[in-house]
Amino acid sequence: MSLPSNKQRSRRLRKKMRVGEFQELGFEYELKVKQALTPEQEEALMDRFLRELIVPRNLAASGWVREGFVTAYLRGSATEGDRQATQAWLAAQPEVAEATVSALKDAWYVEN
């Protein structure tokens, strides 16, 4: 969904649409693994990712091993600290050859 046109909206509508002061931010991640992982190894990596990083930081993640998107759980935004912690955690995993984490971006709308 692309960013809605910039026009006057009530506070209630801005909140509902998650724009303006209610914008929510997240970030993408991409991984390159050292060698092909079995489904069991992929599941173990993602389980550690959720258990050790995502849940303790009150975040939500979509995607799987090679790519995904992270944002705050329920309402709110991921922070620069969350982004840096994710980069460090992913890069430290023995299965991961390279981890890339994007800058913070709108979690609801794709910029044109």
Q: Which residue ranges make up each domain of the chain?
A: 25-106
- For the record, the structure tokens of 50 come out as 């959720």
Confidence check: pLDDT of 73 > 60: yes
The CB density around residue 57, as the number of other CB atoms within 10 Å, is 17
pTM of the predicted model, to two decimals?
Answer: 0.86
Q: What is the pLDDT of residue 16?
A: 84
DSSP state of 64: -
Fold exhibited by the domain 25-106: Alpha-Beta Plaits (3.30.70)
What average pLDDT score do residues 87-104 get? Answer: 97
Q: Work out the mean pLDDT of the chain and round it to a whole number.
A: 92
pLDDT digits (tens, 9 = 90+) for 42-70: 999 999 999 999 999 999 999 999 999 99
pLDDT of residue 1: 66
